[in-house]
């Protein structure tokens, strides 16, 4: 667990968040007490003597630096984490009902199966966070007041709990977001597979490239939303006003592909045989603009020099595939598993590699003999949220790439051409 930093000034800043939770419902905590609670929780997680599950309910932790802390299973009901730094933190199964997370930094945080009902995430940054199975439905907390009896606890009295939040590249698969208010929220490249978003208010939301397979969008309001390149297979959209959204280039269920009346898989087999025999048998085919998603398997196949510009491979397992010298210009390789793939000399200009795994992939030069080398070219490729850990990019061309949140630990950039 990383060291917890608490400001030397008062825990509650002099200038409170506008219209914030009533002070009577929140408690101050001194640095030593907070550190003790976190230490006890760490012992609890390790199943060691002296361990105790953390209870931070109704505690004011405004703008605290708690990066990397593990508060799995902790109770943070009604806690205020306004503007807190929570990058890489872990809140698995945590009770965060009614938690104030406005403007918090939750990049790469893990909130799987967390109870976030009624939580206020307005303006929070959850890029690349994991919220698998999280509960983001509406909710309010009632608390006892000696004078007024039961009263509702409210954060800022404005509509929306996810408005303007950043969830780019986040994993929200199976999340419950019934009736969620997410105006102008950034869900670009997010995984919303199986998410329940019925009656959600998604006006002006950015869902570009989002995976919405098997999700429930019934009755959702997507007026002014952008859904360019989104993937919607088996998505429930009854009562959803999709005509009011920008759905250009949306990917729906693939259809059976035949080229000159021959099944696609058969043609791939012929190409593979052509490669393995050095052209003695089989045949080389063009697969430009082909949707490969119905192909049974492509991992480990030998498909060097494949001509597949503008082709669709979205979400496929291409691990260990041999694509030396392949033409993959503008290909859709989002969320593909390219772990250990041989892409030496491949042309990947403008390719979509968002959320793709290229761990250990070889993108070095292709040696043609006689001192001739063909460099891999990723000019203009989109590598947002892609994993290039331990990949070989020797001499590769990486001009004008988009690489927000790209992971490249241990990547070989020897003589790589970059801006």
| DSSP letters for 183-245 | TT-B-TT-B-TT-B-TT-B-TT-B-TT-B-TT-B-TT-B-TT-B-TT-B-SS-B-TT--GGGS
Six token digits for residue 11: 């825990």
Q: Is residue 257 pLDDT above 70, yes or no?
A: yes
> 318 and 338 in contact (C-beta within 8 Å)?
yes
Specify the pLDDT at position 39: 97
| Lowest-confidence segment of 113-117, 127-131, 150-154 by average pLDDT | 150-154
Q: Is residue 6 pLDDT above 80, yes or no?
A: no
Specify the pLDDT at position 153: 53
Give the pTM. Answer: 0.87
**Which whole number is the average pLDDT over 330-344?**
98
> 192 and 151 in contact (C-beta within 8 Å)?
no
E strand map for 322-386: 366-369, 372-374
Q: pLDDT per residue over 231-256, tens digit each?
A: 999 999 999 999 999 999 999 998 88
**Which whole number is the average pLDDT over 313-328?**
97
In sequence order, what are the residues at sequence separation of 6 or more whose Cβ sits closer than 8 angstroms to the Cβ of residue 369?
none
Model confidence at 338, pLDDT cuts 50, 70, 90, reads very high
Please state, in angstroms and rounded to a whole number, the distance separating the CA atoms of residues 4 and 387: 29
> 404 and 385 in contact (C-beta within 8 Å)?
yes
Model confidence at 22, pLDDT cuts 50, 70, 90, reads very low
pLDDT, mean over the chain = 90
Q: Is residue 84 pLDDT above 60, yes or no?
A: yes
Q: Is residue 175 pLDDT above 60, yes or no?
A: yes
Specify the pLDDT at position 21: 42
Please state, in angstroms and rounded to a whole number, the distance separating the CA atoms of residues 375 and 343: 10
Q: pLDDT per residue over 403-415, tens digit each?
A: 999 999 999 999 9
Model confidence at 142, pLDDT cuts 50, 70, 90, reads low
> Which residue has better confidence, 158 or 405?
405
Q: Is the dihedral of CA 276, 281, 287, 292 positive or negative?
A: negative
Specify the pLDDT at position 9: 27
Q: Which residue has the tokens 């006689």?
A: 370
Q: pLDDT per residue over 26-55, tens digit each?
A: 899 999 999 999 999 999 999 999 999 999
Q: Is residue 336 pLDDT above 60, yes or no?
A: yes
Neighbours of 308 (CB within 10 A): 22
Model confidence at 146, pLDDT cuts 50, 70, 90, reads low
Model confidence at 24, pLDDT cuts 50, 70, 90, reads very low
Model confidence at 88, pLDDT cuts 50, 70, 90, reads very high
Q: Is residue 23 pLDDT above 50, yes or no?
A: no
Specify the pLDDT at position 140: 63
Specify the pLDDT at position 350: 98
> 272 and 282 in contact (C-beta within 8 Å)?
yes
Please state, in angstroms and rounded to a whole number, the distance separating the CA atoms of residues 223 and 201: 9
Six token digits for residue 146: 């000696």
Specify the pLDDT at position 385: 96
Specify the pLDDT at position 141: 59
């Amino acid at each position: 667990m990383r060291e917890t930093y608490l400001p030397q000034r008062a825990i509650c800043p002099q200038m409170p968040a506008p219209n914030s939770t009533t002070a009577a419902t929140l408690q101050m905590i001194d640095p030593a007490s907070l550190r003790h609670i976190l230490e006890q929780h760490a012992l609890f997680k390790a199943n060691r003597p002296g361990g105790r599950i953390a209870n931070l309910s109704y505690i004011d932790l405004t703008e605290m630096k708690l990066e990397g802390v593990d508060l799995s299973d902790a109770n943070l009901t009604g806690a205020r984490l306004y503007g807190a730094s929570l990058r890489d933190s872990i809140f698995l199964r945590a009770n965060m009902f009614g938690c104030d997370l406005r403007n918090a930094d939750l990049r790469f945080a893990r909130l799987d199966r967390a109870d976030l009902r009624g939580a206020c995430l307005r303006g929070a940054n959850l890029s690349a966070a994991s919220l698998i199975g999280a509960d983001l439905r509406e909710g309010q907390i009632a608390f006892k007041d000696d004078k007024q009896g039961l009263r509702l606890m409210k954060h800022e009295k404005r509509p929306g709990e996810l408005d303007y939040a950043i969830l780019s590249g986040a994993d929200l698969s199976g999340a419950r977001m019934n009736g969620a208010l997410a105006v102008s929220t950034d869900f670009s490249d997010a995984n919303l597979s199986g998410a329940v978003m019925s009656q959600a208010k998604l006006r002006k939301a950015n869902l570009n490239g989002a995976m919405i397979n098997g999700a429930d969008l019934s009755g959702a309001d997507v007026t002014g939303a952008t859904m360019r390149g989104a993937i919607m297979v088996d998505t429930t959209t009854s009562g959803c006003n999709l005509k009011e959204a920008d759905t250009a280039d949306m990917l729906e269920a693939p259809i059976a592909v035949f080229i000159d009346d021959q099944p696609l898989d058969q043609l791939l087999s012929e190409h593979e045989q052509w490669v393995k025999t050095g052209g003695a048998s089989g045949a080389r085919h063009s697969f430009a603009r082909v949707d490969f998603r119905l192909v049974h398997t492509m991992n480990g196949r030998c498909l060097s020099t494949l001509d597949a510009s503008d082709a669709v491979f979205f979400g496929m397992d291409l691990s260990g595939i041999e694509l030396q010298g392949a033409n993959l210009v503008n290909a859709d390789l989002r969320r593909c598993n390219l772990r250990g793939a041989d892409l030496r000399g491949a042309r990947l200009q403008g390719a979509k590699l968002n959320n793709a795994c290229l761990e250990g992939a070889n993108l070095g030069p292709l040696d043609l003999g006689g001192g001739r080398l063909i460099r891999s070219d990723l000019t203009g490729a989109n590598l947002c949220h892609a994993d290039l850990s331990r990949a070989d990019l020797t001499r590769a061309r990486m001009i004008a790439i988009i690489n927000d949140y790209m992971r490249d630990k241990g990547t070989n950039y020897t003589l790589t051409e970059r801006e």
